[in-house]
Amino acid sequence: MRYTTKTLTTVLAAGALALGAAACSPSSSNDKNGALVVAASPVPHAEILNYVKDHLADKAGLKLEVREFTDYNTPNLSTQDGSVGANYFQNQPFLDDFNKKKGTDIVPVVTVHLEPLGLYSHKVKKAGELKKGATVAVPSDTVNEARALKLLDANGVIKLKSGVGNEATPKDIVTNPKGLKFKELEAAQLPRSLDDVDAAVVNGNYAIEAHLKPAKDAILIESPKNNPYANFLAVKKGNEDDPRVKKLAKLLTSPEVKKYIKDQYQGSVLPSF
């Protein structure tokens, strides 16, 4: 499924949508004296936000409410319609694609961390050990599929057409020495696919939720150098100057949060500030 073009298909995503709609009214995000409601993926985003809420927010005079969502559509849509005041789950290429396709005007506020994308397998220990005709599962949303293919390209597993951007698909592969087959799956399903495919490219947040350790378990992993896929706090355009947003942005890039990320995730999540 492409998150940016198709409807939600999982029970969890539907449940998250219902929970978010029931718990967050537009007035809750517009009341500058109320709590700032932030939509976030459970891991690591909500964990980082809850660390801020439990250890830093009170001293800074910030009321913070964290709402967890398991899909990649609802946080932006809820931010756009005012059901939540901000979100924290995505990177710039994903947001650019989402805004273009959905007509939203979500903007980044501050960059916080990178979750390196990785190739995982229960069947081989090195990418070079993949057999001829092996099946590799990749995320089905536009940007993350391209990101997965770029990871394979960067490590010599395949070669993509020169100049291909963030909409690359398997059709843009010009060299595929092993004749790999690609299976598109919703990103949240990829860790569960590892017993059924030869390898899968998994987003960092879903890898961590599945008790995979990207820094240790991935047989290929993205380099953090000049990486455009760092995750950030985002709001609807015009809300960047909300005092609550400014306070949260400062806390998310504090020395305390940097230490928390390093200690908690041991290289599977990297601070980007």
**Using one digit for the tens of pLDDT, what is the confidence trace for 110-148?**
999 999 999 999 999 999 999 999 999 999 998 899 999
Q: In this predicted structure, what is the pLDDT of residue 5? A: 35
> In one letter, which amino acid is 246?
K
- At residue 30 the predicted structure's pLDDT band, cuts being 50, 70 and 90, is low
Whole-angstrom CA distances from 200 to 28, 186, 227 are 40, 12, 21
Q: 254 and 56 in contact (C-beta within 8 Å)? A: yes
**pLDDT, mean over the chain:** 89
**138/134 Cα distance (integer angstroms):** 13
Residue 48 pLDDT more than 70?
yes
The predicted structure's pLDDT at residue 181: 98
Per-residue confidence (pLDDT) for residue 16, from 0 to 100 = 40
Cβ-based neighbours of 263, under 8 Å, separated by 6 or more: none
**How many other C-beta atoms are found inside a 10 Å radius of the C-beta of residue 36?**
24
Q: What is the mean pLDDT of residues 19-43?
A: 69
List phi, psi (to 5°) of 14. -65, -40
Given this model, what pLDDT does residue 35 score? 97
In angstroms, what CA-CA distances link 111 with 29, 143, 231? 21, 18, 6
Closest CA to 42 of 13, 64, 63, 62: 13
- Mean pLDDT within 21-49: 77
- In contact, 218 and 118? CB cutoff 8 Å: yes
Q: How sure is the predictor about 7, in pLDDT bands with cuts at 50, 70 and 90?
A: very low
Q: What is the DSSP letter of 162?
A: T
Contacts of residue 88, defined as CB under 8 A and 6 or more positions apart, other chains included, come to 38, 39, 40, 41, 45, 48, 49, 112, 231, 232, 233, 234, 252
- Quick one: angle between helices 92-102 and 142-154, nearest 10? 150
Residues with Cβ within 8 Å of 41's Cβ and at least 6 positions away in sequence, in order, are 68, 69, 70, 75, 88, 89, 205
Q: What is the pLDDT of residue 15?
A: 43
Model pLDDT, residue 253: 98
Is the separation of the CB atoms in 265 and 211 below 8 Å? no
- Are 258 and 273 in contact by the 8 Å Cβ rule? The answer is yes
Distance CA 181, CA 170 (A): 9
